[in-house]
């Protein structure tokens, strides 16, 4: 078994309808007219038969989009439509690291570093003798580049320039919220302090009011410019919550925290009362803490976890499971 992926796959390619950014882990994609600018972006669902793909690819010169999974491929006019019946990939087309369609309509498959195949048909594996992909600049860049999940810049082969992605696109990518809002943080915030100024030990039962849920207003700009163009499209507000959860689950070197916050109440922020009980010796104090998750300087999720200590120092443990 290979190593577990630290970061979900994301697929970016062009089609006749516009540029596509696919998040298979969230079962949806963005369709946009141009990656650098974002006058509008359509948020669309993946068709049920196209979920869980290993490779999604298309081109500006081709009518169909292709999805590869389990050494089979499917063809569809768009990723929200029912695809054709799955066909077996020819053995020479299996196991590609990248799949591309070039202007001639041929398929280029980067099998490994320095090993490239060019075929006219994925099912038959018929070679394209007119195409030597190793001599194309885009192929060299694909083969020589390190895989990156923080797509803050991309190379445009048509203008031969590097462009920076719009924040609305960055937010949709794994690790993107860490770039637009700041790295994920987790901390214990002090809610109350209770003192025992008497000469005798006391036991207190105390009602504590605290905020619980996520700060919707702090995520309001994440899906700005996204429109749910189909009735089956995910609601942008719900997707921003899913993106925030995914950001907190990422390793720290991708701007995450490596925790799984699924168990928390991802409801709009509201106030709740909980009862805590603690004992205090004479002249002792009790500090009541609540765990919060944030992005950059903004608190995003107010967790249910409370902790009572006898020290003014923040607790060190993280009350959430690892991702």
- pLDDT, tens digit, 9 for 90 and up, residues 263-285: 888 999 999 999 999 999 999 99
Question: Taking 70 as the threshold, does the pLDDT of residue 153 lie above it?
Answer: no
Which residues are paired to 21 by β-bridges?
12, 30
CB 8 within 8 A of CB 246: yes
Share of the chain above pLDDT 70, in %: 86
pLDDT of residue 160: 65
Q: Could you write out the three-class secondary structure of 77-106?
A: CCCCCCCCCCEECCHHHCCCCEEEECCCCC
* 181-205 exposure pattern, b = at least 16 Cβ within 10 A, e = fewer: bebbbbebeebbebebeeeeeeeee
Burial of 48 (C-beta count, 10 Å sphere; 0-12/13-18/19+): exposed
CA atoms within 13 A on the CB side of 94: 8
Q: List, for residues 66-110, the tens digit of each pLDDT value.
A: 999 999 999 999 999 999 999 999 999 999 988 988 878 889 888
pLDDT in tens, 45-59: 999 999 999 999 999
* Mean pLDDT (whole number) for 241-262: 94
Residue 134, φ and ψ in degrees, nearest 5: -65, -20
Residue 229 has pLDDT above 80, yes or no: no
CA distance 49 to 65: 13
pLDDT value of position 247:
95
How far apart are the C-alpha atoms of 48 and 267, rounded to whole Å? 27
Is the pLDDT at 138 greater than 50? The verdict is: no
Residues of the chain above pLDDT 90, percent: 61
Q: Quote the pTM value.
A: 0.82
> Distances from the Cα of 148 to the Cαs of 6, 19, 142, in angstroms?
12, 19, 11
Q: Is the pLDDT of residue 140 over 70?
A: no
Residues 94 and 107: their CA atoms lie apart, in Å, by: 12
Distance CA 254, CA 176 (A): 9
- Per the prediction, the chain carries an average pLDDT of 86
Choose the weakest-confidence range: 15-24, 126-135, 192-201, 313-322: 126-135
* pLDDT at position 157 over 80: no
CA 273 to chain centre: 33
Q: State the pLDDT confidence band at 132, using cuts at 50, 70 and 90.
A: low
Which pLDDT score is estimated for 296? 95
Under a CB-based contact definition with an 8 Å cutoff, are residues 46 and 80 in contact?
yes
Q: Are 34 and 45 in contact (CB under 8 A)?
A: no
Alpha-carbon span 229 to 33, nearest angstrom: 14
């Amino acid at each position: 078994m290979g190593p577990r992926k630290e970061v979900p796959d994301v697929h970016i390619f062009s089609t006749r309808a516009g540029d596509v950014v696919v998040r298979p882990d969230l079962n949806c994609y963005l369709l946009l007219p141009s990656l650098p600018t974002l006058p509008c972006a359509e948020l669309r669902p993946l068709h049920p038969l196209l979920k869980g793909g290993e490779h999604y690819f298309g081109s500006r010169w081709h009518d169909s989009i292709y999805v590869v999974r389990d050494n089979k491929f499917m063809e569809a006019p768009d990723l929200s439509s029912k695809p054709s019946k799955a066909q077996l990939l020819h053995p020479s087309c299996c196991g590609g690291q990248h799949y591309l369609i070039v202007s001639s309509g041929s398929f280029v498959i980067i099998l490994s570093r320095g090993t490239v195949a060019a075929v006219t048909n994925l099912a038959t594996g018929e070679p394209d003798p007119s195409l030597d992909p190793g001599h194309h600049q885009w192929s060299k860049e694909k083969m020589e580049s390190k895989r990156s999940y923080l797509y803050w810049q991309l190379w445009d082969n048509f203008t031969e320039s590097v462009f920076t992605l719009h924040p609305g696109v960055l937010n949709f990518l794994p690790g993107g919220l860490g770039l637009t809002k700041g790295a994920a943080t987790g901390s214990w915030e002090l809610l109350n302090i209770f003192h025992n100024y008497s000469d005798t030990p006391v036991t207190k039962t105390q009602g504590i009011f605290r905020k619980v849920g996520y700060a919707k207003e702090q995520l309001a700009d994440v899906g700005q410019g996204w429109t749910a163009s189909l009735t089956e499209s995910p609601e942008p507000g719900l997707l921003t919550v899913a993106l925030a959860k995914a950001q907190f689950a990422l390793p720290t070197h991708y701007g995450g925290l490596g925790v799984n916050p699924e168990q928390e109440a991802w409801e709009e922020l509201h106030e709740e009362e909980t009862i805590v009980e603690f004992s205090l010796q004479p002249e002792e104090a009790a500090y009541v803490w609540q765990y919060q998750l944030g992005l950059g300087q903004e608190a995003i999720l107010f967790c249910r976890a409370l902790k009572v200590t006898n020290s003014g120092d923040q607790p060190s443990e993280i009350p959430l499971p690892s991702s």
